[in-house]
Amino acid sequence: MAETNTECIFCRIAAGEIPAERLVADEASLAFMDIGPLAEGHVLLVPREHYETLDDMPAETAGAMLRHLPALVRAVQTATGCQGVNVLQNNGRVAHQVVPHVHFHVIPRDEGDAFAFNWPAGSYAEGRMAELAEQIRSHMPE
Ligand code: AMP
Ligand code: ZN
């Protein structure tokens, strides 16, 4: 679903109806300061058009937004002096998506900071990785 959704907070920011501290604003995308930062300098990059999740987005629209990501990461790093950055994109409630309009978080990281997540790396039974890879490949466009 593209265009705008009048109920959506990020569409309303894109339309200028809700204030935001903007960092990037072009025809396809917007970046602004996150109002509830996980660390100081936490920013969000969003498409202007309303797509709920990344899988809904046409590649060209996603590309037009994501081209800003390297510069945004560099600017956040330089401005905050952080030691590292997480780029996080949540899709769906189960993945902690609260605002149903695609957004990429750029989160400054420092040794001993408050943000943490569990990374329960597992392993595959013999043959399972290749089997899954084949299934995923079969759903990729040519
Ligand atoms: P998520 O959990 O991935 O959906 O993240 C949504 C993010 O949007 C959170 O980090 C919020 O702090 C942020 N957010 C919500 N409303 C606003 C707003 N009006 N301006 C800036 N950031 C916002
Ligand atoms: Zn929206």
- The Å distance, Cα 5 to ligand 2 centre, comes to 5
How large a percentage of the chain has pLDDT more than 90?
94
Q: What is the pTM of this model?
A: 0.96
Asked if residue 135 is part of any domain, the answer here is no
The model's pLDDT over 34-75, given as tens digits with 9 standing for 90+, comes to: 999 999 999 999 999 999 999 999 999 999 999 999 999 999
Q: Is the shortest distance between the CB of 8 and ligand 1 below 6 Å?
A: no
CB of 38 closer than 8 Å to CB of 114? yes
The model's pLDDT over 10-33, given as tens digits with 9 standing for 90+, comes to: 999 999 999 999 999 999 999 999
Task: Report how far residue 91's alpha carbon sits from residue 79's, in angstroms, rounded to the nearest whole number.
Answer: 28
Report the domain count for the chain: 1
Q: Please report, for residues 32, 39, 44, 95, 109, the alpha-carbon distance to residue 115 in angstroms, rounded to integers and kept in the order given.
A: 20, 8, 16, 16, 8
**Which pLDDT score is estimated for 2?**
67
Asked if residue 85 is part of any domain, the answer here is yes
Tell me which residue range forms the domain holding 22.
9-115
**Which pLDDT score is estimated for 117?**
86
Query: Count of CB atoms within 10 A of residue 45's CB?
Result: 23
Asked if residue 17 is part of any domain, the answer here is yes
- The CATH number linked to 34 is 3.30.428.10
Task: Report how far residue 81's alpha carbon sits from residue 77's, in angstroms, rounded to the nearest whole number.
Answer: 5
Asked if residue 21 is part of any domain, the answer here is yes
